[in-house]
Structure 1
Amino acid sequence: MKRFITEGDGLPTWQSPISHAVVVGNTCYLSGQLSVSAEGEYIPGTVQEEAERAFSNLFNAVRASGFSAEDLVFVDIVLADIFDIQVVNLLYAELFPVGRRPARTFCQAAALPFGARVKVMGVAVGEPQS
């Protein structure tokens, strides 16, 4: 059975035809999240600020799907400038303690929506709480 998560507490309202997450069994596939407000408006800022908002939106999508941040097993981080990796690494270390860090990738994109600096997406596995 599949569940498509299109709205929930703390999730931005999108004008695009997407789901924030799709749950299939005990796996949650999370769409890319940016530094956006609850209304879906891009909020520009420093790499640190944008990464914090993007991760906050990712965690909200995880919770709206019935999972928790501890259920994340994979995180994909896309940067507009790969040289910002150290700033995001420091935040990542704060958000995910040693021994509970998901596998992850970093890559650079030629461009991100709205001119954003950071986009994060992931996969969570666990027993969803409906």
Structure 2
Amino acid sequence: MRQFVSFGEGLPQWSSPISHAVVVDNMCYLSGQLALDSEGHYVSGSPAQEARLAFDNLFRALKAAGFEPSDLVFVDIAFTDLAAVPEVNEVFAELFEAGRRPARTIYQVAALPFGGQIKVMGVAIRESRPGHVQ
């Protein structure tokens, strides 16, 4: 059974015909998130500020799909400039507990929508929790 998550509290409203997340059984596949406010407007800032907002949006999509940030097993981060990696690494270290950080890829792209600097996406797996119906 599949669940398509297009709307949720605080999620950016997109004009693109896509879902924020798709849940298949105990897995959640998350679309790329940018530094967008809930109206879908790009919020320009430092790489760290954009990464925080992009991760906030990723976490909102997780919540709307019934998952938690601790369920993330893989995160993909696209940068328009790899010089921002150390700054974003600090954000990543703040968001994810040492010893329980998801696997990750990083790479540089020529451009991102809205002129963004950072895009994050991921995959989460929900482990069985007492009282949780899958």
TM over 0.5: yes
Q: Within 2, Cα distance between the matches of 1:113 and 1:19?
A: 16
Structure 1 length-normalised TM: 0.97
Question: Which stretches in structure 2 are left out of the alignment for 5+ residues?
Answer: none
Q: Verify the 8 A CA contact 1:67 1:127 in the aligned structure 2.
A: no
Aligned position for 2:88: 88
Q: Max radius of gyration: which structure?
A: 2
- 2:35 maps to 35
Q: Take 2:127 and 2:66, find their aligned partners in 1: how far apart are those partners?
A: 8
For the aligned residues, what is the CA RMSD? 1.3
**Distance (Å, rounded) in 1 between the aligned partners of 2:68 and 2:23:** 13
Question: Aligned residues, how many?
Answer: 130
CA distance in 2, matches of 1:61, 1:14: 13
Unaligned runs of 5+ in 1: none
Stretches of 4+ aligned residues off by more than 3 angstroms: 127-130
State the percentage of identical aligned residues: 57
Q: Distance in 2 between matches of 1:32 and 1:48?
A: 17
TM-score (norm 2): 0.94
Cα distance, 1:123 vs structure 2: 0.2
- Partner Cα distance (1:32, 1:50) in 2: 13
Residue matched to 2:114: 114
Counterparts of 1:1-130 in structure 2, within 5 Å, are: 1-127=1-127
